[in-house]
Amino acid sequence: MSLCECGCGQDAGVWTYTNNSLGIVKGQPKRFLGHHFKIKHKLVDTLKMSTKLCGCGCGQDAGRRTGNGDYAQKGLPRNFVPGHHKYDRIRVCCKGHDLTNRDNLTKAGYCRICANAAQKRWGERNPEAGRGKHFQKRYGVSKEQFDEQCIKQGNRCAICSVLFDYAVRENTPTLDHAHDSTGRFRGALCSTCNSGLGLLKDNIQLLESAIQYLKETQWNQFKASFSDMVTKPEVEKT
């Protein structure tokens, strides 16, 4: 017989199974009986602890832990009714946006919409703060190497020669890499030219076909405009 260490005087019983990771051996005496255990060096009976109202504000009794899949000790008072959430009691954020149970609030009380908008504004105010951070991870090129390449190119795009400008999205310098298994670093391009190469799959034949298409369409447009400029002779006056 092994008495419960909480001081209740009851028999704690023995373990009915073995768990080597927890140091439990079948038949070994238990230290505590069921819902009796030690909290913050104080031996207490969890069933003597009063239950709480649900923290979501619904007014229901949250009840006690069952021990079935719960991390806390069996018998401890719950903070919420199962299925209720701490943000159920908050219907709008501090900016007035409607919330759902799946929305997460920041410590300042902002919802996901507010946080995304604030992040966008910060990026507009600090356009160069986050540039180049992913180059090393994705392409093995450091920020210093990318900046050095931009200086070699005169801080201009290698294709259209537009001056790089982080304040203009189309003129933002981007890292151009080979779209193959090597993914090697080729140079610095503006965002527009880099997107064009990617959409045409770095295929020289497609690029040549695109050039030929533009020449033909521009020539046809020139001929059409030239024919409109030719006026008919005036009718002779009688």
Per-residue model confidence (pLDDT) at position 123? 75
> Would you state the pLDDT for residue 147?
87
- The residue ranges of every structural domain in the chain are 90-125, 140-223
CATH tag for 140-223 (out of 3.40.50.10490, 1.10.10.60, 3.30.565.10, 3.40.1800.10): 3.40.1800.10
pLDDT value at residue 131: 65
Beta strands in the chain (DSSP E): 36-39, 42-45, 173-177, 185-190
Please report the pLDDT score of residue 70 as a whole number.
45
DSSP readout, 133-176?
TTHHHHHS--HHHHHHHHHHTTTB-TTT-PBP-TTSGGG-EEEE
Q: What pLDDT, on a 0 to 100 scale, did the predictor assign at position 31?
A: 79
CB 143 within 8 A of CB 128: no
Tell me if the pTM is above 0.75: no
- For residue 41, the one-letter residue type is H
Q: State the pairing for strand pair 173-177/185-190.
A: antiparallel
> Quick one: how far is CA 72 from the chain centroid?
30
Tens of pLDDT, residue by residue, the chain (238 residues): 778 776 677 888 888 888 877 778 888 888 777 766 655 445 555 566 677 887 766 778 888 877 655 455 677 778 878 777 665 555 566 676 766 555 566 666 677 778 888 888 887 777 666 666 677 777 888 888 888 999 999 999 999 999 998 778 888 888 888 877 788 889 999 999 998 888 888 888 999 998 899 888 887 776 666 665 544 444 444 4
Alpha carbon distance 76, 169 (integer Å): 56
Q: Please give the pLDDT value at position 215.
A: 87
> Residue 155: what pLDDT?
92
pLDDT at 156: 92
Helix (H, G, I), strand (E, B) or coil at 192: helix
